[in-house]
Each structure stands twice: as structure tokens, then as C-alpha cells.
Amino acid sequence: MTDASIPTQATAGEAGFGDYFALLKPRVMALVVFTAFAGLLAAPGSVHPLVGFCAILFIAVGGGASGALNMWWDADIDRIMRRTRNRPIPSGRVQEGEALSLGLALSGFAVVMLALATNILAGALLAFTIFFYVVVYSMWLKRSTPQNIVIGGLAGAFPPLIGWVAVTGEMAMEPWLMVALTFMWTPPHFWALALFMRSDYDDAGVPMLTVTHGRRATRVHILVYTILLALLAVGMGFTSLGGPLYLAVAVVLNALFLLGAVRIWRRDETDAEADNFAVERRFFRLSLLYLFLHFGAILAEAVLRPYGLGGWA
Amino acid sequence: MSLRPTHEIHNRRFGRNLGLGLVLVAFVALVFGLTIVKVTGGDFQMPKAEELN
């Protein structure tokens, strides 16, 4: 082929490296890395640092692969929603088939490599997580039930469990508590987003709670889930994952989170529109900090434990 | 059509190839390191000669 035959416009298959990386949802991957790392360090026992690094890397790649498969499946609604219109597929930079191929290849790669680097159970859990996110959440629940976020949140909650199992090779109660924390956090986090990104989900026909049950019901749901989440998060402080530092962080953050949820519950649409959903936006931003600091505190307790400073002992 | 030595498509292709190349090199290094860790770790044993026959 000569240069004369090179088209002057961007064509299929001419995406840059960054476009393929964007398919892996780097921001979600960051959360996956952080929570998996917390699970890995909180687990009893130890692994070689390189094995630990590989475990986190392959969990992140598996999470990224499921993100690519999710973008492939949701390309039609991503084109409609303002928030997702610039993603690699809707913007035309990457073809749908490329995203599917990359997602499938990286899924298989991540599962096999995690199983080889750590153990079969960790690899199987990663495979289940990818299956749950892509098939159960993206293909089935997301467009069929307003509880999509609730059940689908389970997929995003698994990384700390996989990190834990990568070290121990077996299940325990503590990593399931970490799974429960992210699982219970997901609905208020996304419903707050749905409250102020109202037209996006409506336009795309995604049955978010705001669309199917109304905005009043969504506000009530946020409050109920936040109360349950606060009980769980503070209660975790008294398990072997917690300690004085975790408990202090959990008490402060959950008080703030509950306050935010009560404010959301007390408002109506007129109040919310008057200040452009300031309370809902603040609650959403706090929810990001909430999860980061809870897992940060679990991480800190685990790191301090060998020096006799972490935990209750 | 005017031709330039490097078109924007060339840059994009180069970036893609370079990125993939670096990923592959990093992967080879990672597998090598992982192999060393596994082989020198306590949980790996070479099969005995009599078991191979």
C-alpha cells in the first residue's frame, strides 16, 4: 500500500491507544484496584509482592474487560445519553466489534492469568464477576427492572472478595462484609446521580427508579438504603476488619451521609430545581469520598496491624 | 490530494503500535518475574526423576 491510498479521514480501526484504554472505564478500574487492594491487604496471611501486584493488575484488567463489553452492549443508549455520548463507540472512534473482541479477549486473559498467578477460586470469582456485570446486569437487568442498580451493584462489589481470596484461597465472612458495603452503597450513589441527570435516563428509556416509580419514591429509597448502609458500615467497625481508626471514620462519614440522605428526602422537586439539585450533587460527591475513605480506613487498619496499632487487639 | 510525510493517521497508528508494544514487553517481564517467584517459592517442587519414567 502506498501513502496515496491512505484516507484523510479517521476510519474504522484507526482509533488511538487511548481510545481502547478508555473502553476499559479507567475510573471504575481505579475503584476496583483500590477496593481489591484493601481486600488483599486485610486478608490474613501474605503473598509475594509481585504476586499481589499481579493479582490486583488482573482483577483490574478483568474489570476493564467487563467495562468494554458493557460499552459494546450499551452503545445504542450511550449515543442518546449526554453523559456517555463521548465514549469511544458512540463518538465513532472505536467500532462495536472491536470493543466486543477486546472485551472477550481481555476477560479470558485476566481470568486465566489470575488463576495461574494466585489460585483457581480467585480466577473463578473474577469470571463470575465479569459474567454478572455483563450478562446479568448489562444485558438483562439494566433495561428491564428499576432494581437494576441494586442487583447490578453486586458486580462492582466483588473486587475486595477476589483480593482476599487471592491471598487465602478460601472464603471468609470479612470479605463478604466488604462486598456488602459496596453493594449497599451503590443504590444511593446512583439514585442521587439519576435525580440530577434526569433527562439522560428518561431519554434512553432505562428504567431507573426515578422513571418508573417517580422522584419522590427515589428520595425515600435513598434514605432507606443509607440507613441500612450506615448500620452495616458502623457495625463493621466491631469486626476483625475494623478498629478505632475505622470506627471513627465510619461514625463521622455515616453521620454526614445520613444527614445528606435526610435532606434529599425532605426536599421536593421545586426546592431541588430552585438550586439546580445542589443537595443531590453534594450527596453524590460525598458518596465518592465515603467509599474511598471507608476502604482507606480498612487498608490503614490492615497496614498498622503488624505494628500492634491496627484493629482492636 | 496533497501528501505530507506524517499524516495524523500515521501518528495515531504509531501511538497505537507503541502502546501495544510496551504492553507486550511489560507482560513478558511480568510473566518472567512471576515464574521466578513461583519457582523459588516454597510451594513449588520439581518432579522426581523416577516419577517421570
Q: Grade residue A310 by pLDDT with cuts at 50, 70 and 90.
A: confident
In angstroms, the separation between the Cα of residue B16 and the nearest Cα of chain A is 4
pLDDT reported for residue A9: 44
pLDDT at A123 over 50: yes
Which chain B residue has its CA at the smallest distance from A17's CA?
B16
Residue showing cell 441500612:
A228
Is residue A167 within 8 A of residue A45, CB to CB? The reply is yes
Chain B residues with CB-CB distance to A54 below 8 A: 30, 34
Chain A residues with CB-CB distance to B34 below 8 A: 50-51, 54, 116-117
Q: What whole-number distance in Å separates Cα of residue A157 and Cα of residue A181? A: 8
On average, the pLDDT of chain A sits at: 90
A176: its cell numbers: 463478604
Question: A169-191, pLDDT tens digit by residue?
Answer: 999 999 999 999 999 999 999 99
A157: its cell numbers: 462489589
pLDDT at A1 over 60: no
The domain ranges of chain A are 16-170, 172-313
* B16 and chain A in contact, CB less than 8 A: yes
pLDDT at A133 over 70: yes
- Other CB atoms within a 10 A radius of the CB of residue A90 amount to 19
Which chain A residue has its CA at the smallest distance from B7's CA?
A8
pLDDT reported for residue A302: 93
User: What DSSP string runs through A171-239?
Assistant: --HHHHHHHHHHHHHHHHHHHHHHHHSHHHHHHHT---HHHHTHHHHHHHHHHHHHHHHHHHHHHGGGS
Q: What angle do CA A27, A187, A99 make, to 5 degrees?
A: 40
pTM: 0.87
pLDDT reported for residue A272: 84
Asked whether the beta carbons of residue B30 and residue A54 sit closer than 8 angstroms, the reply is: yes
Best to test chain A binding among B38, B39, B43, B44 (most A CBs inside 10 Å): B38
pLDDT reported for residue B44: 64
Question: A225-239, pLDDT tens digit by residue?
Answer: 999 999 999 999 999
Of these ranges, A11-20, A27-36, A53-62, A303-312, the one predicted with the greatest mean pLDDT is: A53-62
Question: Quick one: which of A136, A8, A138 has its CA closest to A72?
Answer: A138
Fold of A16-170: Tetracycline Repressor; domain 2 (1.10.357)
Length of chain B equals: 53
Question: A259-296, pLDDT tens digit by residue?
Answer: 999 999 999 888 888 888 899 999 999 999 999 999 99
| Residue B26 parent element (H or E) | helix B8-40
Asked whether the beta carbons of residue A50 and residue B41 sit closer than 8 angstroms, the reply is: no
pLDDT reported for residue A84: 86
In angstroms, the separation between the Cα of residue B49 and the nearest Cα of chain A is 25
Complex ipTM > 0.95: no
Question: B4-33, pLDDT tens digit by residue?
Answer: 666 778 888 888 899 999 999 999 999 999
pLDDT reported for residue A269: 85
pLDDT reported for residue B46: 67
pLDDT reported for residue B43: 66
pLDDT reported for residue B53: 58
Half-sphere exposure of A122 (CA within 13 A, CB side): 32
Largest Cα–Cα distance of chain A, in whole Å? 73
Question: A248-264, pLDDT tens digit by residue?
Answer: 999 999 999 999 999 99
Chain A residues with CB-CB distance to B13 below 8 A: 14
pLDDT reported for residue A10: 46
